[in-house]
Amino acid sequence: MKTGVIGGGISGLLTSIRLSESGCNVYLYEEHTEVGLPEHCTGIVSKKTLKMMNAPIDECIKKEFTEIAFFNSKGESIKLKLNEPIFSIDRVCLEKKLLKIAEGLGVNVYLKTKVALVDHDRFYNFSTKKIEDFNNIVLAWGNSIQQNPPPFLHKRTSQIIGINRLIEIEGNIKEENYISVYFNHYLSPGFFSWKVPLNRGTFILGLGSLDPKKIPLSLNKFENELFGNNRIKIVKSYGGVINVSLPEAVAFPKKVIAIGDALGMSKPLSGGGIYGISKALNFDVTRINCEDVFEKIKSNIFNVLRELKKQERISRVFHNPSNQELLDETISFISKNYSIISSKAIDYDEHQNFILFPIFSPKLFLTMSLKLIRDKEYRKKLKKAIYSDLLD
């Protein structure tokens, strides 16, 4: 079975590996001269995701974290202890490592080769200027043709653009061992901003926004608020489209599947895409042959989409700028009662589990319930968010 894979990002590489391990004859096309470049991703993944990726990529792990601090627009924060560690990974290293594995398995890799889908079993190769035929095709071209996708892929209307800035700070900087997330819609409308500490004095600052034109200025402001008194060296800036909207209903043509950003299967709250990709490609290859693997991946993709759908409503509460006061008050109130919250429900990937919070943190649930009973204004704001975002 001859399978063509368009795109040498994590989706295309990992899919090629699984297809090849199942005995398929795989042809992978990547338009850039190298995989992993240009960079766009912050590279934060959970231990569970790395396990599902099932590839020897330890050398690409930069740092481990077990806590995330959530800030409101007033600078108050709560720290959550995650139920398992998360890691900052070097995405370029990851893609290069996956490429080596794919090549080792016999995947035919064509770099610097742009291709375009012309039919459900054929695509046009811009390098050879020829049409090529395949038994199956995998679309793993990321966000590249989001505005004008083939009819079976959803056109995404609202877009979050995210930019990362790798910076080095001079001076005496405290070592940090947690990731910070800032829910401040004045700075990052429709999304949030983040700080990832790497080595001492080196940080990734990032910001997602519905208003891309304002990102450079907002990032400067963000950087200034955090490190205004220090000398800052910007090492590099990189970013791209962050997917927060899932496809409504997917009906792939018989011989085609799309995976990763090409389909829009990121976690809607954080825009993290690696979890869904790794989960869809996590199966026992020894029990499946090339005839069946395509259908297996397809059904796994549908399962992942169903799971991610459950996270969509809770994400809207966090992404809706009109909930800023609610977020501010909630974080402020909790920060006055708790310095750190630890719960089995705090999962880096399964955000739908936040609903289970009361079961795992009865004390916090009780404290919040008392606030709800006593504070009429807060109750009103929460009710509005529930009606407009959770139940709509």
Instruction: Based on the shown chain and the rule CB under 6 A, indicate whether residue 273 belongs to the binding site for ligand FAD.
Output: yes
Q: Is 11 in the site for ligand FAD (CB under 6 A)?
A: yes
- Interface with ligand FAD, residue 140, by CB under 6 A: yes
The nearer residue to ligand FAD, 190 or 239, going by C-beta atoms, is 239
Q: Which among 142-150, 172-180, 306-314, 373-381 is the span making contact with ligand FAD, rule CB under 6 A? A: 142-150
For ligand FAD, give the closer residue by CB, 138 or 327. Answer: 138
**Contacts to ligand FAD from residues 152-171, by CB under 6 A:** 162, 164
Q: Is there binding between residue 29 and ligand FAD (CB under 6 A)? A: yes
Number of residues that bind ligand FAD (CB under 6 A): 41
Q: Based on CB atoms, which residue is closest to ligand FAD, 32 or 313?
A: 32
Among 134, 141, 192, 203, binds ligand FAD (CB under 6 A): 141
12 is an interface residue for ligand FAD by CB under 6 A:
yes
Residue 6 binds ligand FAD, judged by CB under 6 A: yes
What's the chain look like in SS3? Answer: CEEEEECCCHHHHHHHHHHHHCCCEEEEECCCCCCCCCCCCCCEEEHHHHHHHCCCCHHHEEEEEEEEEEECCCCCEEEEEEEEEEEEECHHHHHHHHHHHHHHCCCEEECCCCEEEEECCEEEECCCCEEEECCEEEECCCCCCCCCCCCCCCCCCCCEEEEEEEEEECCCCCCCCCEEEECCCCCCCCCCEEEEECCCCEEEEEEEECCHHHHHHHHHHHHHHHHCCCCEEEEEEEEEEECCCCCCCCCCCCCEEECHHHCCCCCCCCCCCHHHHHHHCCCCHHHCCHHHHHHHHHHHHHHHHHHHHHHHHHHHHHHCHHHHHHHHHHHHHHHHHCCEEECCCCCCCCHHHHHHHHHHCHHHHHHHHHHHHHCHHHHHHHHHHHHHHHCC
Q: CB nearer to ligand FAD: give 303 or 369.
A: 303
Q: Does 272 bind ligand FAD (CB under 6 A)?
A: yes
**Chain residues in the site for ligand FAD (CB under 6 A):** 6-12, 29-32, 40-45, 114-116, 140-144, 162, 164, 206, 239-242, 260-262, 266, 271-275
